Amino acid sequence: MSIKVLIVDDNAGVRRMIRTHLDIAGGYEAHEAENGEHCLKVAAEVRPDVILLDIMMPIMDGMEACRRLRDDPFTASIYIIMLTAKAKVEDRVEGLDTGADDYLAKPFAPDELLARIRRGNKIVDDRRIALFDQLTGLYNRRSFDSFFEKELARSNRYDSHLSVILVDIDHFKNVNDTYGHPVGDEVLKVLAQILQDSIRSSDFACRWGGEEFVILMPETNLEAAKKKAELVRQVVADFSFPKVGHLTVSFGVSYPGKDEFAKDFFERVDRALYKAKDEGRNRVVALLPGE
């Protein structure tokens, strides 16, 4: 698999030179951006493994772009190598303090640049193992906890909506008991893909554990979250899973109350899910703060 590299520099000649070295070496998929603002857009679209980030650029410089990449959960794990003509120690320190992983002063030897990219790609692989559920490819619970903390702080700061949907496969034990765990694993992977395909790019779908999944929906009120859950419920009910056939899922939906502890909030989402189970499964139940 090719290593995705995003080259960010306002000098087209520099971008072309680096792309040429990557093409000659082989095994790289190169993308380009001409400033920090453009970098953020391209990084969100292609999810590169490594970013080669110049510091001195118009519109948005490399330092600010690096900060924003690190603040965004979708791009936080990317390996960032600062490329710049600024060689003073304080410049390197500032670059590393903004979240850069490595720092290479211009002019640089192509072989050294390629070696640092390869090293960065290995580190990114390790980071992603820590962030993602290895079976389904969704974010894991540890990642969700981090996303929720950031989005809750953002919601409180700007008084914006934030909703959570907890998802559980109905009678999943029967699938494992009847068809075996390998088939059950395939069901989990297919459902994960359905969830991922059903949400916006700003939402987070995670594997909560076992046959449970959770969707974090920033800037989404309870009614909109309920509608999304109902849409997914119907998609799953209509879908025929390989070897298993039709399955159903239940949903618990809620949003955090003002100054509510996370523990109390998630207990309520869990109650909503089990209320859906108790009422017959294959349904969406939403609870308000205090319920």
Q: Is residue 10 part of a domain?
A: yes
Say yes or no to pLDDT of 130 above 70.
yes
The per-residue pLDDT for range 186-229, each reduced to its tens digit, is: 999 999 999 999 998 889 999 999 999 999 999 999 999 999 99
Say yes or no to pLDDT of 88 above 70.
no
Q: Is residue 172 part of a domain?
A: yes
The count of other CB atoms within 10 Å of the CB of residue 222 is 16
DSSP H helices in 159-180: 172-179
Range of the domain at 271: 141-286
CATH code of the domain covering residue 156: 3.30.70.270
Number of domains in the chain: 2
**CA 154 to chain centroid:** 17
Q: Is residue 41 part of a domain?
A: yes
The active-site residue, picked from 37, 211, 260, 279, is 211
Radius of gyration for the alpha carbons in the chain, expressed in angstroms and rounded: 22
Based on the fold, state whether residues 110 and 175 are members of the same structural domain. Answer: no
The per-residue pLDDT for range 42-71, each reduced to its tens digit, is: 998 999 999 999 998 999 999 999 999 998
The count of other CB atoms within 10 Å of the CB of residue 115 is 11
Q: How far apart are CA 217 and CA 206, in angstroms?
A: 12
Q: What is the mean pLDDT of residues 101-115?
A: 91
Would you state the structure tokens that stand for residue 86, as one six-digit string?
A: 């600024």
Q: Choose the weakest-confidence range: 129-143, 170-184, 243-257.
A: 129-143
Q: Is 32 a catalytic residue?
A: no
Q: How far apart are CA 130 and CA 141, in angstroms?
A: 10
What average pLDDT does the chain have? 92
Can you tell me whether residue 52 is helix, strand or coil?
Answer: strand
pLDDT of residue 91: 66
**What's the whole-model pTM score?**
0.76
Q: Is residue 186 part of a domain?
A: yes
Percent of the chain with pLDDT over 70: 98
Q: Is residue 291 part of a domain?
A: no
Would you state the structure tokens that stand for residue 164, as one six-digit string?
A: 């959570």
